Chain A
Amino acid sequence: MASPTEQPVRFDHVTVAYQQSIAIEDVSFELSPGEFLGIIGPNGSGKTTLLRAVLGLVRPVSGNVVVLGAAGRELPNVRRHIGYVPQRRALDPQFPISVRDAVAMGLYPTLGAFRRPTAGEQARVEQALAAVGLSESTGHVAGHLSGGQQQRLLIARALVQEPQILLLDEPTSAVDVATRSAIVELVRRLHAERRLTTLYVTHDVNEVLPCVDKVLYINRTVRAFGSCAQVLSRETLEALYGGRVIFAEEGGRQYVVVGDHHA
């Protein structure tokens, strides 16, 4: 098992291309254990590619991705220590599988062919379901859950792995505002309790403002990387959103508001 004190993620001048098309170019950054990184950028800027590179699902054409001490062909070996919540796509409503079974799939990479889950591993499934508020839905058909619940299921499946790194790719896309807030709060709480190194891709900086340690603004290359104060300048955000932004404060929390605002 990778050491919890191992540097979780380091990108050294990484370029990834799909055939002739460069997705990310000369990307460099590094994270310390337990840090929460918000990744922002417009559509097609390479955010998902960056997460896929962490998982070793895409190979850099140049540069080096190091995850928990593994690099190159060794990267797939550390996937079991990485919890991944993909961009939401509806689960097949007809696939015959319960919520509990779908979450338990997070154990599969470590179970092998015949070993039955131990009592401890079964308890992990129940704990993950409880952590995301799905304890009441364990017997439901996974594909029958609402969009927000399906997102919680995917987070639970990632947690069951007891990951050292949690990757979330726009986990609140295609859910309503109330569900979005609940999911963000869930991720914030999980990070606070477990100190997982977390990489959270989003279009909405307001989602991650309260929890992130660092922000990476990417648009094929790294446009800015650092603390919120360093990255989330008016100039950066106006470039990201393509319009005027204002900063607002409410109840001690900062918000970014986009668009023309007349008094």
Chain B
Amino acid sequence: MLDFLHYGFMQRALLSSVIVGTTCSCIGVFVVLRGMAFAGSGLAHAAFGGVALGFLLAVNPLFAAVLFCLGTAGLIQAATRRAQLRMDAAIGIFFAFAMALGVLFIGLMKRYDARVYGYLFGNVLGVTPGNLVMMAVLALVVIGTILLFYRPLKFLTFDEDMAEASGLPTVALAALLLGLLALTVVVSLKTVGIILVEALLVTPAATAYQLTHKYGMMFVLSWIVGVLSCVTGLVVSYVLGIPSGAAIVIVATLLFALAALLSPKRRKCKVCGHESSA
């Protein structure tokens, strides 16, 4: 049954699935609780510009995507603060701009390179040892930063105005969160691709949200759902010979549907009797 684990590419695929499942599910808690789903989608699309630039300049596309995503996150934050735009408008402007640059870079290439489009839907079986190292380093940065700023990010997410009034640097923390989201998108590009990464940023955390009233427990459940989705999706894709990114997202969505159906939040809160519609 586990014969496929003898293959090096499958071992790397499994490791990358765990890395992606862990990183996306942790940052996903903030994405769900702070309503940042569009930011995740926008940064994922912005990554396309970076990947295309990487191929155009013949540098590591993931490295180029890191710079592109962080740059886009910085522009979104700056436009939100300085131009006093709503964040969704700023995201709309800059993710389209980054996509347009991606199309331009592809047009500037001397010959057609189909590998660019491989990043749209991901290919977990094509993860190289180099990709894996880069993914692991970025994932460590993301998870380490979340742990380091766990309390301030919790306060920011619960009540931004009060967090600021209490003396926390909320502007810097919000920018940090956007930067971490950008890095997470890059971590996931090779595995699920630009189009489908949004699902992993939202669905595991949204599933956990159905199941708990506790903030810390939401991270734990989100992590379990994220890793379970990625690993199960990988195995299913191998066994059935279907695209891995799609299989991962379908598994995650089925888990969400199950959690939504069985959610204890649909019942009366045992402690205070509050009826919830979550």
Contact = CB atoms under 8 A, between A and B. Distances in A.
- A-B interaction: yes
Given A109-B167, A137-B272, A96 B215 contact: yes
A106 B162 CA distance: 9
Contact of B33 (A55, A95, A101, A157): A95
A139 interface: yes
B260 to A, nearest CB: 13
Nearest to B164: A57
Interface stretch (B46-54, B131-139, B144-152): B144-152
Interface residues of A, number: 34
A91 B161 CA distance: 12
A113 B149 contact: yes
A111 B151 contact: yes
A108 B165 contact: no
A96 B217 contact: yes
Interface string B186-198: 0000000000000
A108 B168 contact: yes
A55 B152 CA distance: 18
Contacts of A108: 151-152, 155, 166, 168
Interface string B152-184: 101100110111111110000000000000000
B274 A86 contact: no
Given A80-B167, A86-B165, A108-B166, A141 B271 contact: yes
B26 to A, nearest CB: 15
B185 interface: no
A80 B166 contact: yes
Contacts of B149: 113
A129 to B, nearest CB: 15
- Summarize B's interface: helix, strand, loop or mixed: helix
Interface string A20-59: 0000000000000000000000000000000000010100
Given A57-B164, A79-B167, A108-B168, A93 B214 contact: no
Contact of B166 (A77, A79, A113, A137): A79
A102 interface: yes
Contact of B272 (A79, A140, A157): A140
Contacts of B159: 91, 105
Interface in A77-108: 77, 79-80, 82, 84, 86, 91-98, 101-102, 105-106, 108
Interface of A: 55, 57, 76-77, 79-80, 82, 84, 86, 91-98, 101-102, 105-106, 108-109, 111, 113, 137, 139-141, 144-145, 154, 157, 161
Given A93-B274, A105-B155, A157-B162, 17 more contacts: A55-B165, A79-B165, A84-B162, A94-B265, A96-B33, A97-B214, A98-B213, A105-B163, A108-B152, A108-B168, A113-B150, A140-B269, A141-B269, A141-B271, A141-B272, A144-B272, A161-B166
30 contacts: A76-B167, A77-B167, A79-B165, A84-B165, A86-B162, A93-B274, A94-B209, A94-B265, A95-B215, A96-B209, A96-B212, A96-B213, A96-B215, A97-B215, A105-B155, A105-B158, A105-B159, A105-B162, A105-B163, A108-B166, A109-B168, A137-B272, A139-B271, A140-B271, A141-B269, A141-B271, A141-B274, A144-B272, A144-B276, A154-B162
